[in-house]
Every structure is written in structure tokens, then in C-alpha cells.
Amino acid sequence: MTDIRLLSPDLINKIAAGEVVERPASIVKELIENAIDAKSHNITIKIERGGVNFIEISDDGIGMNEQNAKLAFVQHATSKIYSENDLQKILTLGFRGEALASISSIATTTIHTKTSTTDPILVLVRDGHIVSKPGSGRKTGTTVTVKDIFQKIPARKKFLKSENAEYKHILNTFIKITIPFHNINFNFYNNNKLVYSLKETKTIEQRIIQIFPILKSKLIPVFFSDKSINISGYIGHPSINRKDKSLQFVFVNSRAVSEPIITQAIKTGYGTNLMHNQVPVYFITINIDPKKIDVNVHPRKNELRFDNSQEIFRLIYNVVRESLEKHLQIELQNRLTNTASTPRQEYVPEYNTHTTKSIKTSSPYNFSPIPSNKPISYGKGLNFTKEILLQSQEYTSLIEPEPTIGDTLQIFNTYLLVERNGELMVLDQHAAAERITYEKIKARFQKHHSLPAQKLLIPESINISKQEYLNIIEHKKILSSIGFEFELKPNTLLLQAVPEIITTKNPQDYFNEILSHLSNSGVEIEKEEIRLLNYLISTIACHSSIRAGQKLGSFQMKTIINDLLKCKQPYSCPHGRPIIWIIKKGELEKNFKRKL
Ligand code: ADP
Ligand code: MG
């Protein structure tokens, strides 16, 4: 057996460097973080050839005296924590005391530094020894220069990507750090060319726009605060949803982190404002008592753990959903109504007399009357149509004057055209009606936990497979809560009642659609149940709303638009398809070469 030996400090550093220094961007990250922790107001980053050859970070922070500058190179030497207790209240970006030791073990590293009371000093590692000599010509602050990364470790160098790819990693790292520290001036040079000159800004939003001018007027603020947590920042308007995740940023106590629970909460908050292949844009800042998180779970500190991640999920989900709904609702009201000069800022109640009238007369959502080929409901619960009417009347006294919608034109029996405030709006009538019906059914379900059923005159027999049989047993409760009643046998199902609101001629088609959905999606956990319910309600909405190709009168068109204005998510149908397409007057002018 071979003897066990203690590793040399140099080798320990090299091993640790494998965790801390993955690529040049990791070095840039650690050095900028050190400059920020040193209370700098101006930070300059210079890199050459994707950072592989040269990285230099200069700051005007507090600097180091000779003794500290030497200690900085030693593994686990830090000025940021002293005791185990400090580990629970970390507010600096660094604390592990291993960055400089790791970096200097894999690259030629020099520190040139000066404090307000000491002379400049130059410290470097030569043949494994830390040496220092007097520096010259520098103000208070620190410059760390790193050259020849992985020169001595060809195995690691091999894994580096092209200069361009490494450069992109560095840019991403740089951008991530500069956003929460918007009160610091940053200059970034690549191959001696100034790429970013970010002057300090008053707000984080200004810093975001400085870096991504394309996001101007596309950001929706979010804010929540209580004793233990403060959530703020911006989410992107759904019109700028993307396919890639490059504009998603989460900062916890100013540290950029990638935290699946937050990503999931934001995505869920967008709901149907996201198509299935889209992701949102967001910049979310969370300030939380450091005792309630563990930042020490990853060597590069880009992950963390929350003590109560379920609560974090709930808070973020709610703040995103509410901010988005409020914003979109007001935006659409301002767009579609005659109040461009004095934007409406208040909420309108869910239902109003207009809706009531439309149901009584010619509802575009076909809530009633029940089609003649269906028997009259004697299923459980109230008659759904009547109930909606009653609900609407409850709100009558709260109703504000109806907004004036401009003239509406229907084309191809499918799209509604409205001109308003220099914009042409094209609405998909089915998608809009579906959204309205969906929100009404959902509100009804949330209140009563069930939807009324409608008995079929002649029960329908449907052949089912063994798998379908099992799926139905598993979801029997949820299916009956939305109005399906049936007798189940191993090979057949006798459909006796369907949700009252459905107007499709063949309810078994609808039931089959649900069956195939159940076999294609594993519905096991509670979150999935919510998703299933949303699916079921959106399918009901689809089967009970006006279709494309249906001729509408002007009253019906106005009712759709008015009711859409009251929806929580007026821009997308429950399946995530867009409802509205906006064409600006300027775009038309450009197309007709009136304006260039
Ligand atoms: P950590 O940041 O985790 O403490 P580092 O290895 O990154 O560990 O740095 C070690 C120490 O060196 C820091 O705790 C700090 O005291 C000092 N230091 C590093 N960079 C700077 C800087 N730019 N200005 C002032 N002090 C610095
Ligand atoms: Mg550090």
C-alpha cells in the first residue's frame, strides 16, 4: 500500500482552483467582486484575447497594506468573516478567502495596491513564494493583473473554448455584476477597445436600459416588501418574451444567482402570457435577512439555498402575476378606450350590466340558451347561466360608465379591427372569447369548487382502453368537479352528464380529447393537478366560445372588446395564443413609403 501524504499548499490551491476558476470569466467575476467589497466607486476591467492572455481589474477602493496584500494570496485568508457566526450574516460578495490563492496558482498574478495611509506595494507569487516590492505611481486602490491563465496546466487549457466564446462568458459575467451595483462606474475594455462605459445611475432600471437600450419602456415594475423580505425589480412585457434565457437575472442580496425555484415562480406568474416555447425577461432583486439563506453551497457562489423556498415561490409567483395582470389590464384599457389623454388607472369590476345584457340577448360566448339538442339541466348546483347573471347584478351598483370603443369592423368572419390612438388593433375573436369565458368559468370554479353538470338525454357509450380506464379512476374527482358524470366499466364508459356550459354538438369528442390529454401527461403531484384543472377549464372555454368564421353583429363585437378589457390576462388565450396584434400607424406609413 502506498503511504498517505499531506498535499502541498500549492497543490491544494490548484485543486481548489478547479472549483473556483472554471474559465477566465470566473476570474473576472472574483476580481470585480473583490473590488466591490473594497467599496470602490470606479472599476475598470481590461481583457485581451478572451481573457485567456490577460485580465486586469483596477479599482479605487480601500486598497491593502503590504501585510494584507501578501496574506490575500494565502488560501482561506479573508478580511470578510472571522467566526462561524459571521457565516450566517454574509453581506459581502466574497467570504471564502480562496479566490486570489486559486487564481495565483493557475496564472501569473500581480497585485498593485495602496491604502490611504500606506505606500504603494507590488505583490506577486514567484516560484511558489509570495514576494513584495515597492510600487509606484498609483492612487489609493488596487489593480490585480492576471496573465497566462492555465499556462502551467495544459489539461485545463485544453477545455477552454474559442477566444470569442470566452469573451462572451466574460461579458455575461460583467453585465450580471454591474446591474445590482448601478451606483458604481464601470469601464470595460477588450483588446484595448472601450466596450462599455457605464456611468453610475440612480436606479437599477436606468442601469438595465444603459446595458439593454432595447428594453426601454418594455419593463414592468414589481414590488413586494414585508419584515423579512423585499422583492423588487422588473419583468418584461409579454411582447418581448424570448426563446433564450439571456435576459433573466435574479439577484439575492446583490449576488447574481441561478435559482430554479425563482425561475419557476416567475414563469408560473406569467401563466398564459407565455407561449409554450417562450421564456420571460426579468430582473428580480431580492433582499433577505442573510440568516434565512445559505450562500455557501457552491464554490463559485452562483447558487444558494433559501430556508423557506415554498414561501419564496409563493411570494414571487403572486407579485409577478399581480403586477403583470394590473399592467396589462390598464394598458389595454388605455389602448382601446377614448381616454388616451387621461389614462385610466383604476380597476373595473369583473362583470357589469353590459355583460348581463349580452347574456340575455346575444352573448358572443354562447353561455345561453342551451342548444336545443340538449336536455335541460337538472344536474347539481345552480343553473350556470343564471348564476352568472346574478353575480353580474351584484356588481351593478359599482359600475362605472362604459368606456367608448371605437368603430369595430369584422373581417374574414374571424378578426375584429379597431383603430385607436394611432394604432390599428387586430383581435382574434375566438381567442378573445375563449379568454373571457375561461376567466369567468375559473372565477366560478374558484368560488364553488365545482361547475354545474348537464344531463345527457341519452347517455353516450365510449370505448376505453385499460390505460384510459386507470387514468379516469385516478382523476375521477376532478372530472366530476367540472361536471362530468359517468358510469365506468373496464372497457366502456357511459357518459351521463357533461359540463353545462359546453355547447359542442358531440360531447364525447370533448371527453375523448380529455382522455388523450390524460394519457399523455403524467399527473402526479399537486402542482400538476392545478395544471390539469387549468387545461380542463381552458378546453371547456374553447368548446363554449364563439368560433372563427362566425359572423358577428356590432353589439357582439363591442361586448367582446368590453369584456376583454376586464380580463386579467387580455393579451393571450388560455392556450397561450395571442389575442391582439397591434400595428402602429408608423408601420403602415413605413410600408407605404410615406415615411422612411
Ligand atoms: P475573499 O474575497 O473571499 O475574502 P479573496 O481571495 O478574493 O477572498 O481575497 C482575499 C482578501 O484580499 C479579501 O478578503 C480582501 O481583504 C483582500 N482583497 C482582495 N481584493 C481586494 C481589493 N481589490 N481591494 C482591497 N482588498 C482586496
Ligand atoms: Mg473575493
| Nearest CA among 196, 191, 271, 199 for reference residue 235 | 271
**Top mutation candidate among 70, 100, 177 for ligand 1, by most atoms within 8 Å of CB:** 100
pLDDT for residue 348: 31
Residue 509 reports pLDDT greater than 80: no
Q: What is the pLDDT of residues 193-219, one digit of tens each?
A: 999 999 999 999 999 999 999 899 899
For cell 390576462, what's the residue? 569
Residue 303 reports pLDDT greater than 50: yes
What spacing in Å lies between the alpha carbon of 209 and ligand 1's midpoint?
A: 31
Residue 571 reports pLDDT greater than 50: yes
Cell of 458: 341519452
| Nearest CA among 230, 228, 264, 235 for reference residue 249 | 235
pLDDT for residue 86: 61
Instruction: Name residue 455's beta-bridge partners.
Output: 497
Reported confidence tier of residue 432, pLDDT bands at 50, 70, 90: very high
% residues pLDDT > 90 (the chain) = 30
The amino acid at residue 251 is: F
The amino acid at residue 416 is: L
Q: Which of 40-44, 168-172, 553-557 has the highest mean pLDDT?
A: 40-44
Residue nearest to atom 17 of ligand 1 (CA): 72
Rounded to whole angstroms, the Cα distance separating 577 from 289 reads: 40
Instruction: Name residue 584's beta-bridge partners.
Output: 423
Q: What is the pLDDT of residues 236-246, one digit of tens each?
A: 998 888 888 88
Q: Which of 75-79, 122-126, 298-302, 415-419 has the highest mean pLDDT?
A: 415-419
Residue 408 reports pLDDT greater than 80: yes
pLDDT for residue 126: 77
% residues pLDDT > 70 (the chain) = 76
Residue 187 reports pLDDT greater than 80: yes
Reported confidence tier of residue 333, pLDDT bands at 50, 70, 90: confident
Q: In angstroms, what CA-CA distances link 53 with 114, 147, 154, 158, 368?
A: 25, 5, 14, 14, 73
**Is 579 a pocket residue for ligand 1 (Cβ < 6 Å)?**
no
**Is 61 a pocket residue for ligand 1 (Cβ < 6 Å)?**
yes
Rounded to whole angstroms, the Cα distance separating 81 from 69 reads: 17
pLDDT for residue 10: 66
Rounded to whole angstroms, the Cα distance separating 123 from 582 reads: 61
| Nearest CA among 43, 52, 57 for reference residue 24 | 52
**Is 570 a pocket residue for ligand 1 (Cβ < 6 Å)?**
no
Rg (CA), the chain: 31
Q: State the average pLDDT over residues 53-74.
A: 91
Q: What is the pLDDT of residues 347-379, one digit of tens each?
A: 332 322 233 232 233 344 433 333 333 333 323
Q: What is the pLDDT of residues 247-277, one digit of tens each?
A: 999 999 888 888 888 998 898 889 888 877 8
Cell of 564: 376583454
Q: What is the pLDDT of residues 137-164, one digit of tens each?
A: 899 999 999 998 877 666 666 666 678 8
pLDDT for residue 31: 95
Instruction: Kindly report the pTM of this predicted structure.
Output: 0.67
**Is 274 a pocket residue for ligand 1 (Cβ < 6 Å)?**
no
Residue nearest to atom 25 of ligand 1 (CA): 63
pLDDT for residue 62: 94
Instruction: Name residue 410's beta-bridge partners.
Output: 416
Residue 525 reports pLDDT greater than 70: no
Residue 527 reports pLDDT greater than 80: no
What spacing in Å lies between the alpha carbon of 98 and ligand 2's midpoint?
A: 7
**Region of residue 141 (left: phi > 0; alpha: psi -120 to 50; beta: else):** left
| Nearest CA among 174, 136, 161 for reference residue 27 | 174
Rounded to whole angstroms, the Cα distance separating 531 from 533 reads: 5
